[in-house]
Chains A and B, each alone.
Chain A
Amino acid sequence: MPLASTVPAPVHASLLRAHALAALAALLLSALFGVVVALQLVWPDLTGSAPALGWGRLRFAHTQGIMLGWLGNAFLAFLYHAVPVLTRRAVSHPLLGWALFGLWNAVAVIPGWVLVLAGVSQPLEWAEFPPVVDAAVLVALLLAVVQFLPGFFRGGLDSLYVSGWYIVGGLTFTLLAYPMGNVVPALVSGATSAAFSGLWIHDAVGLFVTPLALAILYYVIPAASGRPIYSHFLSMLGFWGLFFFYPLNGTHHYVFSVIPMAAQLGAITASALLGVVVVIVVGNLLLSLRGEGWLPRDAGLRFVAVAVVFYFVVSMQGAAQAQMALNRFTHFSDWVIGHSHLAMLGFATFAAIGGLVHAWQRLPTARYNPRAIDAAFWLLTLGISAMVIDLTLAGLVQGELWQAATPWMDAVRASRPYWLLRVLTALPIVLGFMLLGVGLLTGEVGAGQARTGPGSLTAEPADKAAAPAAGHGGLSMAYVVSGVAGVGFFGLSLLLLGWWPGRVIDAEIAETAPATRLALTDSEQRGRQIYAREGCGYCHTQQIRFLEEDILRFGAPNLAWEVQFDSPHLWGTRRIGPDLSRQAGVRSSDWHYAHLFAPRALVADSVMPSYAALFDGAPTRPRQAARDLVAYLETLGRARQLAWPEGEQQAQGAVMDTHRAHLAFSAEELNAHPARPRRGGTLPVVEGVTAANDGAALWRTHCTGCHGTAGRGDGRAAAWLRPAPANLTEYRYTRDYLLEVLWNGVAGSSMPAWRDQSPAALLALVDVVESLSGNDTAPSADAATLARGAAVYAAHCAQCHGEGGRGDGFAAAEFRMAAVDFTRQQPSHEQALRALEEGVAGSPMAPWRDRLDAGERDAVVHYLRSFFATPTAEIADAD
């Protein structure tokens, strides 16, 4: 039975209280997850290799906890206060409310956390809780619709205040968007999966968080100030503008990707126009705040006022960073992380706190501690502002370094001070959240009510405030039109940015894909699941954009057919580590195992977590999970390699976009990762280049992990690699050989290609390696010994090492690892003898102890060392 509009509608205080307390608990726990994640970027070994405390899993728990645990509960708490006021009716039923509370928290949020920390998740951004939890969230959203919305449909549209519009829109469209973002991307694959996922990334903010946050803003400002908002007309213009443009923004997360350019440009345009709408919304809100000063006295209003400012900044930032010129610079960087924190912890959290405080103050039996709330306000304002500024600056630094084609790790090193500062900014934020809890749970009972100021509302002319006509018996035409328009807007976004791009992508795949492709084996498929559950895709993209800076660093941009069977997609939206799209063949399996076990043993400044739990105590004892993961990494880019050159020509002929075709096929070497080790190949131009003066630092950073501090091949990782890193003190090398090894790596070994280093840096490293050599003993054998050695060599060695010792024997071409070229590297007598007697583990060089006697071994070592001579094509420094 509807209540009369002349009496207060009952507020279910116990439900409000329960959701508020759940929100506070979720906020503190989610913030704790976030702090640990932030700390792990500074101290990667903070939590050891415990799988449940891995960076990726904690990040899942952090973001899902903030969105569903904190904001979801806070919004629901506020709805128990606001809906009775807005509809003049009670919500549907308290029992339904308790069912919703239990479902939201005990079946969705808490099990969601437990499951993602246990490794059961889905690798979709803002949708990481597994499908079973998604089902619970969907049922809960349906219950929320039944609980809160019926009252809005009984009063007539004429009386529907803008907050009511946002609540109706937010709950309705989240019910539609949630399955679109959490289920559809896992049902489709490749670029189409990414297109739908991109829609949800924006809809989670645009159709769930923003409408409910704006509902709070439009509610609290007039309710706390006692004055009506400036213009209901502008508020409605903003409402329809936001619901039209927000769903059309999603594809701007994948600018310069293989998703059709028309869809990208459409999303970019919608993003810019969304900024225009936000100006209208924020202008209206600021005008509604006139007379309240910069810092309103009312605590709830103060949080809401800052939320308005944050909303303006984050929306302008979003509209700008969707534009191609800024996007190519800031995308994948910490700029975006700062943007996300400004949206979820700045705008949405301040709105939610404002709404909670406003509702809490009006609970007659609630405690309230104004000093704690005031302190929380300042700590949160300062902490979140500092964090966002810090991350934005970090993003600019990263973008600059990525554009400059400097070594990848330069950007990681440059980010560390910003990451440390980010941790420090988290301290006032966490303290602020704790004080918020103190403010709502301590103090005098009813102290909040005393501060709301009785009778503070401005009286309005009776004719303006006249109650609307009695409620309608059913839905009026206006409701139907509004509903159809809203659903139509959402459907339009699905059509234009989900379904249609999928059709274009399918057509392009049909034209460009090679006739046959290797599917993932069971092991590789399991490895993909491990990659997904550990959140590898949240630091490593699999999306080389159609941009020169991406192509030069990572290889050819991804074509649609390459990721056709990736379900769900693993494109990623952030790069802390490098893109892995063309990882196949770049590193040896040993290197991967060692890197997964102890990342900093191989990459000194890496912030990658250790995955030692995938091993039985050492990288040389990988468990099946580690083998599966490395097997999967070896598939990344494999399809494109196998398709080349015929498949490449077919694809080139069929790609319609000429600019993208130019970028995708402009250099045949780009088909694989530029840092993939190669046998032979061109050398960098070093004429006129002066060696960098930081060779020792470069050596310490890049080389000591394997070769050891003194170059004896005894670095921490050396025992885990086959063939073992060279003991550089036992060799002499020609400079051109060293330059070639540094540039091309050593195929078949763990020695990577250092093509992201400048020629000056490579020359500096050449100098360092030369200085390490202790092999300065010239060959000094008599003619008879050399003749005997020559005979042995011709009989047993020349097949691989070549008659002239150049490593060009007829058998050598069959080996992945080239045979030693003795004209350019000369082992010491002892080293050569050792290799001859024992062989070289992990290489084709077999032990010859039982096949050659001691005299033969000694003679052939004398002979092969005689090949080395001062090379004629010496690479010289400018000095």
Chain B
Amino acid sequence: MLIDLIVGSAVLLAGGYCVCWLCSPALRARIERPKYTFLEQVRRQQPDPPEDATPPRRSSP
């Protein structure tokens, strides 16, 4: 019974997730977006500012 619960839950969760991904192009785009925004942020971050707690001032409004 415990095995059924574990396997059943896993299949339902993973299956539901995959079905949503397959059926919704918009969802696919949304799910993939963080990997691009992350890279963009990495690009902005290099090189790290040297120190420390004082946040840099905005150069434009």
Within 8 A of B (CB), among A107-164: 158-164
Decide if B14 touches A241 in the complex (CB within 8 Å): yes
A237 lies within 8 A of chain B by Cβ: yes
What are the residues of chain B within 8 A of A461 when measuring CB–CB? 36
Decide if A86 touches B44 in the complex (CB within 8 Å): no
Decide if A93 touches B53 in the complex (CB within 8 Å): yes
State the CA gap A876–B29 with chains docked (Å).
85
Decide if B42 touches A244 in the complex (CB within 8 Å): no
| Binding site secondary structure of chain B | helix
A232 lies within 8 A of chain B by Cβ: yes
Decide if A236 touches B31 in the complex (CB within 8 Å): yes
Decide if A10 touches B52 in the complex (CB within 8 Å): yes
Within 8 A of B (CB), among A1-23: 1, 3-14
B6 lies within 8 A of chain A by Cβ: yes
With beta carbons under 8 angstroms apart, the residue of B18, B34, B46 that contacts A158 is B34
Residue of A nearest to B59 (CB): A7
Decide if A362 touches B44 in the complex (CB within 8 Å): no
What are the residues of chain A within 8 A of B52 when measuring CB–CB? 10, 12-14, 94
Give per-residue flags for A451-488: 1 if the beta carbon is below 8 A from chain B beta carbons, else 0: 01010011011001111100000000000000000000
Distance (whole angstroms) from the CB of B26 to the closest CB of chain A:
12
Decide if B41 touches A237 in the complex (CB within 8 Å): no
Decide if B34 touches A85 in the complex (CB within 8 Å): no
Residue of A nearest to B60 (CB): A6
State the CA gap A8–B13 with chains docked (Å).
37
Decide if B56 touches A7 in the complex (CB within 8 Å): yes
B19 lies within 8 A of chain A by Cβ: no
With beta carbons under 8 angstroms apart, the residue of A7, A81, A226 that contacts B58 is A7
How many interface residues does chain A have, given as a range? 35 or more
Residue from A1, A159, A233 with most neighbouring chain B CB atoms (10 Å):
A233
- Given that A4-B58, A7-B44, A270-B6 are known contacts, is A364 also in contact with B32, CB under 8 Å in the complex? no
Give per-residue flags for A68-82: 1 if the beta carbon is below 8 A from chain B beta carbons, else 0: 000000000000010
- Given that A81-B48, A223-B42, A265-B3 are known contacts, is A237 also in contact with B36, CB under 8 Å in the complex? no
Number of residues in B with C-beta < 8 Å to the partner? Answer: 44
What are the residues of chain B within 8 A of A6 when measuring CB–CB? 44
- Given that A8-B48, A244-B13, A362-B46 are known contacts, is A90 also in contact with B35, CB under 8 Å in the complex? no
State the CA gap A67–B16 with chains docked (Å).
36
A407 lies within 8 A of chain B by Cβ: no
What are the residues of chain A within 8 A of B49 when measuring CB–CB? 8, 10-11
Decide if B33 touches A159 in the complex (CB within 8 Å): yes
Residue from B48, B55, B58 with most neighbouring chain A CB atoms (10 Å):
B48
- Given that A85-B41, A222-B35, A229-B35 are known contacts, is A13 also in contact with B58, CB under 8 Å in the complex? no
A88 lies within 8 A of chain B by Cβ: yes
Residue from A14, A162, A266 with most neighbouring chain B CB atoms (10 Å):
A266
Decide if B38 touches A269 in the complex (CB within 8 Å): no
Distance (whole angstroms) from the CB of B31 to the closest CB of chain A:
5
What are the residues of chain B within 8 A of A85 when measuring CB–CB? 38, 41-42, 45
Decide if A232 touches B13 in the complex (CB within 8 Å): no
State the CA gap A220–B42 with chains docked (Å).
10
Residue of B nearest to A262 (CB): B2
Residue from A14, A223, A265, A452 with most neighbouring chain B CB atoms (10 Å):
A223
Distance (whole angstroms) from the CB of B58 to the closest CB of chain A:
6
Decide if A158 touches B33 in the complex (CB within 8 Å): yes
Decide if B43 touches A457 in the complex (CB within 8 Å): yes
State the CA gap A164–B42 with chains docked (Å).
14
With beta carbons under 8 angstroms apart, the residue of A13, A158, A458, A465 that contacts B48 is A13
State the CA gap A363–B45 with chains docked (Å).
11
What are the residues of chain A within 8 A of B29 when measuring CB–CB? 464
Decide if A231 touches B32 in the complex (CB within 8 Å): yes
Within 8 A of B (CB), among A414-437: none
What are the residues of chain A within 8 A of B45 when measuring CB–CB? 8-9, 11, 84-85
Decide if B46 touches A454 in the complex (CB within 8 Å): yes
Within 8 A of B (CB), among A239-258: 240-241, 244-245, 248
Residue of A nearest to B18 (CB): A237
State the CA gap A231–B35 with chains docked (Å).
8
What are the residues of chain A within 8 A of B54 when measuring CB–CB? 10
Residue from A94, A228, A362 with most neighbouring chain B CB atoms (10 Å):
A228
Distance (whole angstroms) from the CB of A221 to the closest CB of chain B:
10
What are the residues of chain A within 8 A of B50 when measuring CB–CB? 13, 363-365
Q: Could you jot down 20 A-B contacts, CB within 8 Å?
A: A1-B55, A4-B58, A10-B52, A11-B45, A14-B51, A93-B53, A94-B53, A159-B34, A161-B34, A222-B35, A232-B31, A244-B9, A244-B13, A262-B1, A266-B5, A457-B43, A457-B46, A465-B37, A467-B37, A467-B40
Beyond A5-B41, A228-B38, list 18 extra A-B contacts (CB 8 Å). A6-B44, A9-B45, A10-B55, A13-B51, A85-B45, A88-B41, A94-B52, A94-B53, A158-B30, A227-B39, A231-B32, A240-B17, A364-B47, A452-B46, A457-B42, A457-B46, A460-B36, A468-B37
Which residues does A use to contact B, with CB under 8 Å? 1, 3-14, 81, 84-86, 88, 90, 93-94, 158-164, 222-223, 226-229, 231-233, 235-237, 240-241, 244-245, 248, 262-263, 265-266, 269-270, 273, 362-365, 449, 452, 454, 457-458, 460-461, 464-468, 496
